Amino acid sequence: MIKLLSGNEAFARGAWEAGVTVASAYPGTPSTEILEAVVNYKQDIYCEWAPNEKVAFEVGAAAAMAGARSIVTMKHVGLNVAADPLMTLAYLGVKGGFVAIVADDPGMHSSQNEQDTRNYAKFAKIPIFEPSSSQEAKDVIVYAMDISEKYETPVIVRSTTRVSHSRSLVECRDRREPNEVGFEKDPPRWVPVPLWARPMRVKVEERLQKLRQAASASEWNRIEMRDTKLGIIAAGITYQYVREVWPEASVLKLTFSYPFPDELIREFAAKVDNILVVEELDDLLEQHILAMGIDCLGRDFVPGIGELSPTRLAAVRAAYEEGKPAQNKFEPDTDLPGRPPVLCAGCPHRGVFYALAREKAVVTGDIGCYSLGTFKPLNALDIILCMGGGISMAHGIDKAKNPKPVVGIVGDSTFFHSGITGLLNIGYNKGNSTLIVADNRTTAMTGHQDHPGTGKTLMGEPTTEASIAEFGKACGIKRIRELNPYDLPEAMKIVKEEIAADEPSLIISKGPCVLKEKLAIGGIHEVIEENCKECGMCLKLGCPAIEGGSGKPKVNPLLCVGCNMCGQVCKFNAIVSKEDS
């Protein structure tokens, strides 16, 4: 059976075919769709959204310790959150197959940084696979499970945005039988206290040597001989680009890319006159080959910043053939018009940021839709660091005795991800920050996934709806208030009062994501031109439904959802609902 699948859909199919029975993840582009596809196999695979990547990793790891085959999925920055259990799971190993599918985002299409997940595989001394197509994405999961079970090791499968989101034909197969599950009590194997961790450390090195030999012998790594003047070494999506730009060159294609297949690299090097290493982001492979005493070129020509593409590699080829190393600098695309990101028309976060922008406070934020509160005309957000950091950073600035008050803001999904511990820290260590949870009842930025506060599981079952207010109380916060972000006078009043309070406070701004609910809040608005004084106050909301420029503003009826924030900021009663006019 042949299907047209994206890379993420193929990963999910591969998990099903491999006999996986447990899958856990926290959503993050470009990995989100993997679990959304796994849920189509929920009759065979238990799958869940975890509160964060560390929890997802621990769930999957424990399932594999009990003998089940499991996958966990996350984006590259999510692996930072899960790095703690990863490093020790490398020592403990697994019984059933365990694969962490980690999607990197070269070019930062939807991420706060670029990271090369291969570094984590090397750091943890575990194998990594890099598929280059949807077919390989599916098939490699089955193979990676076998490697995981044979060598009793966790395995990383590294995807990138292009692999995850590109579609191609995939030949599908039947599902194989899942493992029998039964945890066996064996403390010397499963408990890494120093007495038992020291021999585990030795076994990690012994396993790494065996895996290096396995990588050299693996059918997933292959030499494609053509013209011997140039040999190119590539893995993952870069292999596809290389085949397009250098169709005549010999290629060493790596899919089982770490541990580095030294024997195969030496064999390839002996067959070609020159070697060019084409790798996206870091130059791990190039540095390793040079350390082996094999001459090669790479970073002098291949950019290490941003996403590669056939177009960029065509420029690399021209520079290589001219013998003029290219300057490895990042040049953003300039052939597209600038489009500043804005909150959606009717987004409830707009009311909170409008209120915050009128206060003289430092505002620390987080990763999510509310990061858009940084931009003009709202200008409300001052710092963003990482998931959950919006709360913790507010405490840090507060304790540094910053002269201005501090407000930390996170979303509801991010609150459950890792904001709770920051709030607990504020309650415990007597902080004095104002914290806002912008609760829009979903994980909006990644595509409306459920989380512990929505009362619904990934598998569609109703469940406990975690209360942000109750968590606040449990963390020791006594001042807890809710506000309606569509009521601007109330929002500004509450924000002002809580910032002035001489104790920590938690504000919960409750308003559903209009993009998810697809419901109009009120009647479509319009501008009464004879009342409009062109003061520009309505434009300060940054609502994409209000079209300004020269002359009097207009309300785009195709975008307006009737939230009436514009009507509230207009002092001249010039913006009203059509139903009222």
Whether residue 515 lies inside any domain: the answer is no
Range of the domain at 100: 2-217
Q: For residue 49, what are the β-bridge partners?
A: 25
Residues 23 and 154 in one domain: yes
Q: Could you write out the DSSP letters of every residue in 58-110?
A: HHHHHHHHTT--EEEEEEHHHHHHTHHHHHHHHHH--SS-EEEEEEE-TT-SS
Whether residue 330 lies inside any domain: the answer is no
How many angstroms separate the CA atoms of 513 and 60, rounded? Answer: 31
| pLDDT on residue 477 | 98
Residues 240 and 212 in one domain: no
Whether residue 342 lies inside any domain: the answer is no
Residues 367 and 504 in one domain: yes
How many angstroms separate the CA atoms of 5 and 429, rounded? Answer: 50
pLDDT single digits (tens) 79-95: 999 999 999 999 999 99
How many angstroms separate the CA atoms of 161 and 376, rounded? Answer: 29
Residues 120 and 46 in one domain: yes
How many angstroms separate the CA atoms of 137 and 132, rounded? Answer: 7
Known binding residues? 532, 535, 538, 543, 560, 563, 566, 570
Domain stop point among 200, 217, 234: 217
Residues 430 and 539 in one domain: no
Domain stop point among 305, 322, 339: 322
Known binding residues for [4Fe-4S] cluster? 532, 535, 538, 543, 560, 563, 566, 570
Residues 453 and 308 in one domain: no
| pLDDT on residue 63 | 97
| pLDDT on residue 212 | 96
Residues 393 and 405 in one domain: yes
Residues 559 and 486 in one domain: no
| pLDDT on residue 517 | 87
Residue 195 makes CB contacts below 8 A (sequence gap 6+) with none
Structure token pair of residue 337 = 């018009």
CB of 458 closer than 8 Å to CB of 49: yes
Whether residue 271 lies inside any domain: the answer is yes
How many angstroms separate the CA atoms of 372 and 411, rounded? Answer: 12
CATH number at residue 543: 3.30.70.20
Total domains, the chain:
4
Following CA atoms 373, 374, 375, 380 in sequence, which dihedral angle do they give, to the nearest 10 degrees?
70
How many angstroms separate the CA atoms of 211 and 217, rounded? Answer: 10
Domain stop point among 217, 252, 282: 217
| pLDDT on residue 335 | 62
CB of 16 closer than 8 Å to CB of 175: yes
Whether residue 327 lies inside any domain: the answer is no
Whether residue 105 lies inside any domain: the answer is yes
CATH number at residue 277: 3.40.50.920
Distance set, CA 513 to CA 118, 224, 445, 461, 490 (Å): 36, 51, 10, 21, 20
Amino acid making up residue 66: A
Residues 42 and 66 in one domain: yes
For 270, counting Cβ atoms within 10 Å of its Cβ (0-12 exposed, 13-18 middle, 19+ buried), the class is: exposed
Residues 563 and 433 in one domain: no
The overall pTM is greater than 0.75: yes
| pLDDT on residue 338 | 66
CATH number at residue 210: 3.40.50.970
Low-confidence ranges of the chain (pLDDT < 70): 327-340, 581
CB of 484 closer than 8 Å to CB of 472: no
Whether residue 393 lies inside any domain: the answer is yes
Whether residue 334 lies inside any domain: the answer is no
CB of 48 closer than 8 Å to CB of 458: yes
Residues 260 and 159 in one domain: no
For 138, counting Cβ atoms within 10 Å of its Cβ (0-12 exposed, 13-18 middle, 19+ buried), the class is: buried
pLDDT single digits (tens) 485-521: 999 999 999 999 999 999 999 999 999 999 998 888 8
Residues 97 and 203 in one domain: yes
For 290, counting Cβ atoms within 10 Å of its Cβ (0-12 exposed, 13-18 middle, 19+ buried), the class is: middle
